[in-house]
Amino acid sequence: MGGFIGVAYKSFAKGRRGLPQALKGERLAMTDEDKRLKIALLTANTLQDRKRSSWGGTVDHIALTLGKHCGDVYFIDPIPSKGRLVGKIAHKLTRIVLKKNYLYNHTFSLARKYAKVVAPQLAGRSFDVIIAPSGGTEIAFLETDIPIVLIEDANFALLHNYYAEYSNLIKRSAYEVDTLERMAIQRASLVLHPSERAVQATNKRYGANTRKVRAVPFGANFEEVPSLEMVMAKKKSDRCQLLFLGVDWERKGGEIAFQTLLKLEEMGIQAHLIICGCTPPARHSHERMTVIPFLNKSDPSQRVQFIV
């Protein structure tokens, strides 16, 4: 996360306050209190969501890194549950009646609710900056003078008709998601993507100010990086060890990993595939395949298993 945090901090350097409870006990690398920022971390994910969602570990590690190196972090959680419930119902009806998708998490109605819930939490607290990971819908209608840093791994232009949930959309849904993306990019003071491809897509599709759209790779979601001694102590295996790591088998290319195992076997190369993060379809089974459905890095024993 260092690259993202460095770019954001250089843009907004002032402010001070105490650490939130979630970050208590963390050693702060930054000691100049006069330069510490007061940061609002805006995310629609609850703590439980963040433990399992694809952005889960990323959001919490962004918060920890900000707390260590930039300032004092306060989670702003916009959770209009009624808005989501209505959206889920609309999505199901759309699937049943029209056989199409409706992105209920990215609608004008929900975005307005987010803005209504968030505004009072920001009022009178003199935040220096708002960090919004995957927060385009959350900030699209947000009226504030506080600078916003929008962090997105991709955008609608790249996801549309690529990911399954972003494909076969009804026209209204595609229009709303695309419009919310444009509004969020315009509202943000800084837009950070992990790749140049995403930057180029944002600039081309949404006509963003190129000076505020930056490519900065994500860091590792580890509080403690395995030591060099631990890595070097590992003995080379007599077979090719393959690792598939992801929570979505189809979207993350699980089929490619499985076919690689079969191809190596055809070539007479001993191989073993470890699948971690999901359970593949029943048709993908092999005697030289190990499935670990999910590991929670917050659990010490599971974190050790993940590292080893």
pLDDT over 90 for what percent of the chain?
45
Structure tokens at 218: 């994500």
Residue 154 has pLDDT above 80, yes or no: yes
Decide which of 21 and 209 is more confident. Answer: 209
Please, which pLDDT band fits residue 22 given cuts at 50, 70 and 90? very low
As a whole number, mean pLDDT of residues 119-126 equals 89
The reported pLDDT for the residue numbered 23 is 36
Examine the pLDDT at 212 and tell me if it is beyond 90: yes
**pLDDT score, position 91:** 82
Residue 281: count of CB within 10 angstroms of its CB:
11
- Is pLDDT above 80 for 113? yes
Both tokens of 276, joined, read 């971690």
For residues 207 and 182, give the distance between their C-alpha atoms in angstroms, rounded to a whole number. 9
| pLDDT-based confidence at residue 5 (cuts at 50, 70, 90) | low
The dihedral of CA 198, 203, 207, 211: what is its sign? positive
Q: Is 10 exposed, middle or buried (0-12, 13-18, 19+ CB in 10 A)?
A: exposed
**What is the per-residue pLDDT across 160-183, written as a single tens digit (0 to 9) for each?**
998 888 999 999 999 999 999 999
User: Which pLDDT band holds residue 40 (cuts at 50, 70, 90)?
Assistant: very high
Which burial class, exposed, middle or buried, applies to 29 when counting CB atoms under 10 A from its CB (0-12, 13-18, 19+)? Answer: exposed
pLDDT of residue 231: 76
- Averaged pLDDT score across all residues of the chain: 82
pLDDT bin (cut points 50, 70, 90) of residue 80 is low
pLDDT band at 17 (very low <50, low <70, confident <90, very high): very low
Lowest mean pLDDT of 46-50, 95-99, 147-151, name the range: 46-50
| CATH (one of 3.40.50, 2.60.120, 3.90.1460, 3.40.1390) for 2-215 | 3.40.50
13 is written with which tokens? 């350097």
pLDDT computed for residue 62 by the predictor: 87
Grade residue 77 by pLDDT with cuts at 50, 70 and 90: confident
Using the predicted structure, report yes or no on whether residue 83 has a pLDDT greater than 90.
no
> Which pLDDT value is given to residue 258?
96
pLDDT band with cut points at 50, 70 and 90 for residue 188: very high
Q: Cα–Cα distance between 249 and 275 in angstroms, integer?
A: 9
Give, in order, the Cα–Cα distances in Å from 217 to each of 11, 74, 102: 18, 24, 30
Beta strands in the chain (DSSP E): 37-42, 71-76, 129-133, 148-151, 190-193, 213-215, 240-245, 271-276, 289-292
Q: How large is the average pLDDT for residues 51-73?
A: 78
Over residues 231-248, the pLDDT tens digits come to 788 777 788 999 998 888
**pLDDT for position 81:** 59
CATH 3.40.50 location in the chain: 2-215
Q: How far apart are CA 150 and CA 136, in angstroms?
A: 7
Percent of the chain residues past pLDDT 70, beyond the cut: 80
pTM: 0.77
**What integer pLDDT is reported at residue 30 of this predicted model?**
47
Query: Is 286 or 44 the better-scoring residue by pLDDT?
Result: 286
